[in-house]
Amino acid sequence: MADKETTTTTDTDSTMLSTVETVTLTFWDRLKNFMSRKFLAALSGVIMGIVSIVQGETLAGCGLIGASVLGYLAVEGYIDAKSAAAALTDASTVLNTVSGLTETDKDDIIAGVVSQISSQLETAISDIKSADSATTSEN
C-alpha cells in the first residue's frame, strides 16, 4: 500500500476546496504495476518469441516479439490518450471557471491564499522558536 499524505485547504469563504496528495510508492506497489494483464501478456509473447528463436524458428520468434511489444505499446498509447483527453477536459473546465471570475473574486481568492500562507509561516516560525528555546534550556 502506498504511503499517502493528504492536505486539504479552503479559502476564507469556504467556496474553494483544494486537495493535494503526495504518494510514495513502495516496492510492492511498483511490483503491482508490472503485474498488469497487458504487461504479462506482452512479456509472455516476448518469452515465447525467444523460445521460438532458440528452437530455430527465427521468423516466427521475431514476429511474436514484435507483435507483443507493438501490441503493448498500442494499448498503453490508447489508454494514455484517453487519460490526456480527460485531463484536457478538466483543464478546459478550470479555464472556463477562472475566466468567468470577476476581479473581486480573484482578489478574494488571492487574499485567502496569502492569509493561509502567512498563518502557516507564523506557525512554523513559532515551532522553530519553541524548538530553539527547548534546545537552549537543555544546554
- Residues 23-66 have pLDDT tens digits of 677 877 777 777 888 888 899 999 999 999 999 999 999 999 99
pTM equals 0.46
Same domain as 139, residue 109: yes
Same domain as 20, residue 6: yes
Q: Quote the Cα angle for 20-23-28, to 5°.
A: 160
**Which contacts of 69-76 are long-range, i.e. CB under 8 A and separated by 24 or more positions?**
69/42, 69/45, 71/41, 71/42, 71/45, 72/38, 72/39, 72/41, 72/42, 75/38, 76/38
Same domain as 42, residue 94: yes
Q: How many domains does the chain have?
A: 3
Same domain as 56, residue 14: no
**Which domain covers residue 135, as residue numbers?**
103-139
Same domain as 139, residue 107: yes
Same domain as 66, residue 44: yes
Question: Which three three-digit cell numbers place residue 112?
Answer: 485567502
Same domain as 80, residue 30: no
Same domain as 94, residue 107: no
Same domain as 73, residue 31: no
The alpha carbon dihedral of 75, 78, 84, 85 has a sign of: negative
Share of the chain above pLDDT 70, in %: 81
